[in-house]
Amino acid sequence: MRSHMSFAFVAALLAAGCGHAEKTPIVAPGVAPVEDASSVAFPAAAGADLHPEALNVESSDGKGDETIKGRAHAKGFIHADLLHVWQAFQDPDTVADRRKLDHWTVDKNVETGFDVSFRLHATTKATLGASLGFDMTLRQSATLGTAAAPEQVNCYAQKTDGNSWIGPLLDSAVLIALDDGNTSIELVRHGNGEIYDEGDAKQYVQDLYDSVKAKAKGLALPTY
């Protein structure tokens, strides 16, 4: 469900300069998932295909947790090997929320101790009468195997700066190499703020899956 505040009201507040810049320290020490995506199962086998290329998504509101307005869990499979799937996750254009963002720039190697890290300096589309700026910091590491030959990769992302109207954003992904050469993917997103809700969380994990799948196969990214 959408926030109880109307878009017109939010737009008026944004135009009046409401919201403020806020820096948020990374809450996780490494690349552990935001939480266990226990509310959703992996897609069932389709005939002889034990790992069909599909994504199951479950979403909810905060269920009483006032720090979360939108929560999404997703599990699926991509018919590409883990190295190519991880390379897709390392592309800022692939993981950016292109449906909501107008433009973004990237700083690479912003944190030590991880195989990959970068920061997106993003600006939202002016769909509510104003554009909002914020930063997302992303960490990725092979947690099994090596960076050159990974068996499992964990990815963690968090909003670390920007307009308070966007609210906290937390993302995680767990990518695992399967025996048949395909990759399993497990996604979690938490969102909050006056312009963020359950529907946005559900849409983002589906968009992310579609984008990563396309990039891993050498195809053009979806456009919105």
Q: Is the pLDDT of residue 182 over 80?
A: yes
pLDDT at residue 13, as a whole number: 42
Cβ-Cβ contacts under 8 Å for 85 (sequence gap 6 or more): 78, 175, 183, 185, 212, 216
pLDDT in tens, 205-221: 999 999 999 999 999 99
Note the pLDDT tens digit of each residue in 30-80. 999 999 988 899 999 999 999 999 999 998 876 656 566 788 999 999 999
* pLDDT of the residue at 22: 58
Question: Does a structural domain hold residue 9?
Answer: no
Question: What distance in Å separates the CA atoms of residue 108 and residue 60, rounded to the nearest whole number?
Answer: 33
pLDDT of residue 198: 82
Task: Using DSSP, state whether 160 is helix, strand or coil.
Answer: strand
Q: Is residue 55 part of a domain?
A: yes
**Residue 11 belongs to a domain:** no
pTM: 0.86
Q: Write out the two tokens for 57.
A: 């998504």
In a domain, 12, yes or no: no
Q: Which position has the token pair 């947690």?
A: 143
Report yes or no on 222 lying in a domain: no
| Under 8 Å between Cβ of 20 and 193 | no
**Considering its fold, how many domains does the chain have in total?**
1
What integer best gives the mean pLDDT of the chain?
86
The parent domain of residue 89 ranges over 20-216
Cβ atoms of 23 and 131 within 8 Å: the answer is no
Which amino acid type is present at position 222?
A: P
More confident residue, 94 or 162: 94
Q: At what angle do helices 198-216 and 82-89 cross, to 10 degrees?
A: 120
**Would 221 be classed as within a structural domain?**
no
The domain that holds 110 is classified in CATH as 3.30.530.20
Helical spans, DSSP H, in the chain: 7-15, 82-89, 92-95, 198-216
* Percent of the chain whose pLDDT exceeds 90: 65
Distance separating alpha carbons of residues 97 and 27, to the nearest angstrom? 21
